[in-house]
């Protein structure tokens, strides 16, 4: 089968589109014929070696959608022929992938595979951020960094549907338009405005929560945007890791700080089904709109990752085998 593989950590040129052995489903696993793979920033972090795998070469990609073509022993969650999607299982940059069956969810008949791949990782991330990490309620005020990105657009819509006020930060006016269209009460262009000062002005002193996937370049000012006893949710680091900090620095507002990951918020099948059933229902009713703005052939995965890392994308990026 064709797959993208990484033989050594480094730049996008290490993503090699080549023949790879066909995997086989083992006990508790299913073989999925991939029709679409979602691209996420964590894929770049695996490629560069920020997160390392137990072996090289490896096939990147944590999210995909397709059709079950075989199942191993003791699989009851899916059957051959099911249309499924999944997240948080490495190896979706390929024509076929073996996935733990408990992570697979059946997608609605009306949902195409591109949308199925696009919603899983970023959709469940937005869901756990708004429903579990800091459960938003009507009247809460939130900062959403990278509000025109894949998670940002989904999180903004979910937060607004819960009754929160959202201040989104973006890189340019075109992205500001996208954030506002998703429901953001204000779109702050950080290249033109001091987002800390603007958030404090708009919120009359501070917000309840900051959802930050950017990291190093936004972290300190994000803390300063919080009201006393507010929560800093650092769920990514697209600009690089945050430098070591003293816990005493939180005392200025008795702040809460958490570094969550989807791995711990999708740890059981019941939790995955809860989050995805909500997402699928909202998409079906029109309450949640998913932007699949960029589609690349699987062979051009390196170009897709360069575009994502260079902040030249909005919404979701999908790879097609």
Q: Quick check: is 129 in a domain?
A: no
Cross-strand bridge partners of residue 83: 67
Indicate whether 145 and 250 sit together in one domain.
yes
Indicate whether 15 and 111 sit together in one domain.
yes
* Distance, CA of 155 to CA of 119 (rounded, Å): 12
User: Domain with 150 in it: what CATH number?
Assistant: 3.40.50.720
> By C-alpha distance, which of 73, 74, 69, 79 is closest to 106?
79
The answer to whether the beta carbons of residues 275 and 128 sit under 8 Å apart is yes
Specify the number of domains making up the chain. Answer: 2
> Domain of 79?
2-121+269-320
Indicate whether 184 and 295 sit together in one domain.
no
* Distance, CA of 135 to CA of 122 (rounded, Å): 17
Please, what's the b/e burial string for 172-194 (b: 16 or more CB within 10 A of its CB; e: otherwise)?
Answer: eeebbebbbebbbbbbbbbeeee
Measure Cα distances from 118 to 104, 187, 198, 257, 289 in Å.
14, 24, 32, 28, 11
* Distance, CA of 178 to CA of 164 (rounded, Å): 18
Indicate whether 62 and 145 sit together in one domain.
no
> 129: exposed, middle or buried (C-beta count within 10 Å: 0-12, 13-18, 19+)?
buried
Q: Quick check: is 215 in a domain?
A: yes
pLDDT in tens, 151-187: 999 999 999 999 999 999 999 999 999 999 999 999 9
Indicate whether 80 and 8 sit together in one domain.
yes
The answer to whether the beta carbons of residues 151 and 170 sit under 8 Å apart is no
Q: What is the pTM of this model?
A: 0.95
CA 74 to chain centre: 30
pLDDT band at 217 (very low <50, low <70, confident <90, very high): confident
pLDDT band at 262 (very low <50, low <70, confident <90, very high): very high
pLDDT band at 12 (very low <50, low <70, confident <90, very high): confident
Q: Which of 216, 231, 259 is a domain's end point?
A: 259
Indicate whether 281 and 189 sit together in one domain.
no
Indicate whether 171 and 198 sit together in one domain.
yes
pLDDT in tens, 269-319: 999 999 999 999 999 999 999 989 899 999 999 999 999 988 888 889 999
pLDDT(244) > 90: no
* Distance, CA of 202 to CA of 136 (rounded, Å): 19
Q: What pLDDT was estimated at residue 314?
A: 84
* Distance, CA of 90 to CA of 64 (rounded, Å): 10
User: Domain with 72 in it: what CATH number?
Assistant: 3.90.180.10
Indicate whether 238 and 202 sit together in one domain.
yes
Q: Quick check: is 131 in a domain?
A: no
* Average pLDDT score over residue span 66-83: 98
Indicate whether 22 and 69 sit together in one domain.
yes
Q: Which of 259, 277, 309 is a domain's end point?
A: 259
């Amino acid at each position: 089968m064709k797959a993208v593989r990484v033989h050594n950590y480094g730049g996008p040129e290490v993503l090699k589109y080549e023949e790879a052995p066909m995997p086989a489903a083992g006990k508790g696993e299913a073989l999925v014929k991939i029709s679409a793979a979602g691209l996420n920033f964590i894929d770049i972090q695996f490629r560069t070696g920020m997160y390392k795998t137990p072996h090289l070469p490896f096939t990147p990609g944590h999210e995909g959608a397709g059709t079950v073509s075989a199942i191993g022993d003791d699989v009851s969650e899916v059957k051959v022929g099911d249309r499924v999607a999944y997240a948080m299982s490495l190896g979706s940059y390929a024509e076929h992938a073996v996935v733990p069956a408990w992570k697979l969810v059946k997608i609605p008949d009306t949902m195409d595979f591109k949308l199925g791949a696009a919603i899983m990782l970023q959709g469940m991330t937005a869901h756990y951020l708004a429903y579990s990490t800091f459960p938003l309620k009507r009247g809460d005020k939130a900062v959403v960094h990278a509000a025109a990105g894949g998670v940002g657009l989904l999180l903004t819509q979910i937060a607004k549907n819960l009754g929160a006020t959202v201040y989104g930060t973006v890189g340019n006016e075109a992205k500001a338009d996208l954030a506002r269209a998703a429901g953001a009460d204000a779109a702050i262009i950080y290249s033109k405005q001091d987002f800390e000062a603007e958030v404090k002005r708009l919120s009359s002193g501070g917000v309840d929560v900051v959802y930050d996937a950017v990291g190093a370049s936004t972290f300190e000012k994000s803390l300063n945007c919080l009201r006393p006893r507010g929560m800093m949710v650092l769920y990514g680091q697209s600009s690089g890791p945050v430098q070591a900090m003293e816990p005493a620095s939180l005392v200025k507002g008795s702040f809460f700080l958490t570094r969550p990951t989807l791995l711990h918020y999708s740890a059981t099948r019941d939790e995955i089904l809860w989050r995805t059933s909500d997402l699928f229902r909202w998409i079906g009713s029109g309450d949640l709109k998913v932007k699949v703005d960029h589609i690349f052939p699987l062979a051009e995965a390196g170009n897709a990752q360069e575009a994502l890392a260079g902040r030249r994308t909005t919404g979701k990026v999908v790879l097609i085998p």
